[in-house]
Structure 1
């Protein structure tokens, strides 16, 4: 049952506002639709977390909230929507999920343990006792396609779908540049050395809050030795005979692979 405070908050919102509602990492659908009006959300009779400002698009302001119950609603995981929604909608959903994750994991101060509160007009949580401030965290990662002429180095882990391969990837560690991370990750995961590292493009990846930095790198030396416990298989593939890989429509890995393969098949 929604509290009086929740009903009051929803009742004060303009009709043009759209809400993105989550319950435990799943998006709650409004008769199959992604977004809720304040009136339709109020009818759920559920308790909401703080309403977090996501952004404005197409003349509407978008807010996100976490529900305390599923309320018998149809729901979808964010991953399941990657292939079916527009880029604009996915950007809103991605930002909503990341901000709700940040809010949910910083309800109490990591310094003194006191509750935190949202500061009006700023995307920040502040401790009610020691005033320590917490801002949304983004975790930088690199993803790299290693190339050797018309061949590319692809790998798979045990968590991949059967038969699928992708680029090598890893988190940027403290004190590293992205280029240093690439050299280390490629060496650790495949045993080979690279050079001529060049940036291509980036992608926000909300699982839970990564920023993927996509690169190409040239093979320099070494034989492939997959990292035990991390890489199930790694191999060189000719661009005309690639295994199943992530879709270029939703993944920077897919775009790196597709773009390089196209440049080899159809050189200028």
Structure 2
């Protein structure tokens, strides 16, 4: 399987990051203070990121204007400068709405509009995933006691039983399934009207990537899968997944869609997929946005790289 050319990945959201993670600074004594004068801050409020002056990496003065932080963590360094992520107290939201220095934008919307440097989106994916993890893991899963933020935010510790808890990433397989000169695409009930995409599903414990592709495809469409190849991956911070893009060879043609998972599924010839990607399909059928790995997988198929 040839490597997907860099230009095909150039528009993927969240895949580029220049963040130097702080694994070498895990000792609490070496974590810089959040008020460092040269610090950069990624601030989120109610699932939206604050943008000022075309960047979501705020200088300390803008971070201070954003208000109190419910959680603040140290992510690492960017060009030697410490980078922090903060979840702004929801009580500050009304004031932020009247603050002319900021735009409050959904992170997915930022990736679609392409207004930020690509490396900022990758850093913001790290920030959002970690902040979401802290929001959901305030208590020890072992004994139920409140846990404490440690290692700058890359670990939580239980003061009662001593258990350590670390951020998790949920792996998801997403697959371009082909048979001859056609590929299998489906649409979930939640999709925008007319949009079709690659099938996808979470890996289960003790399962290989290849077996997850085969299982998920069969469960959703009753299509059996033979060979599976890896193509590319994409962090997906909603809340914290890794999309593992694969190409799979179908052994069957008859589709029996699972109505609980899919509103429809069908085979699309190469030229029709090209029309979907170009937003020129005669029936108004569309593909995911270029920032999504499903778009890159479909483009690889059209270009003969899948």
Tell me whether the two structures share a fold, i.e. TM-score over 0.5. yes
Aligned to 1:126: 157
Query: Which runs of 5 or more structure 1 residues have no equivalent in the other structure?
Result: 1-9
Alpha-carbon separation, structure 1, partners of 2:234 and 2:195: 20
Aligned residue pairs, count: 254
Residues 205-260 of structure 1: CA distance to partner in whole angstroms, max 9, x if unpaired? 11110011111011112510111121011111111112321233x12111111011
How far apart, CA to CA, are the structure 1 residues paired with 2:247 and 2:267? Answer: 15
Q: Which residue of 2 aligns with 1:59?
A: 80
Moved more, 201-210 or 213-222: 213-222
Partners of 2:64 and 2:40 in 1: how far apart?
12
In structure 2, distance between residues paired with 1:149 and 1:111: 51
Which secondary structure does the structure 2 equivalent of 1:211 belong to? strand
Unaligned runs of 5+ in 2: 1-31, 98-102, 277-285
Write the distance in 2 (CA, Å) between the matches of 1:25 and 1:239. Answer: 38
What's 1:6 paired with?
none
Question: What is the CA distance between 1:38 and its match in structure 2?
Answer: 1.7
- More RCO (CA 8 Å, sep 6+): 2
- Quote how far apart the aligned CAs of 1:11 are: 8.2
Output the CA distance in 2 between the equivalents of 1:165 and 1:65: 36
Question: Which residue is 2:36 aligned to?
Answer: 14
Whichever structure has more helix as a proportion of its residues is 2
> What's the Cα RMSD here?
2.0
1:109 deviates by 1.3
**Structure 1 residues 9-158: aligned runs within 5 Å:** 13-30=35-52, 33-44=55-66, 46-68=67-89, 69-70=92-93, 71-73=95-97, 74-83=103-112, 84=114, 85-120=116-151, 123-158=154-189
2:217 is matched with which residue? 186
Q: Work out whether residues 11 and 38 of structure 1, in 8 Å CA contact, stay in contact via their aligned partners in 2.
A: no
Taking structure 2 as the reference length, the TM-score comes to 0.78
Partners of 2:71 and 2:131 within 8 A in 1:
no
Contact 2:175–2:247 (8 Å) recurs in 1: yes
Deviations 1:186-216 (A, max 9, x none): 0111111111111111111111100111110
> How far apart are 1:31 and its partner, in Å?
5.6
Q: Normalization by structure 1: what TM-score? A: 0.88
Shift of 1:63: 0.5
Shift, 1:108, TM fit: 1.6
| Alpha-carbon distance, 1:103 to partner | 1.1
Q: Provide the rounded CA distance (Å) in 2 between the counterparts of 1:178 and 1:101.
A: 26
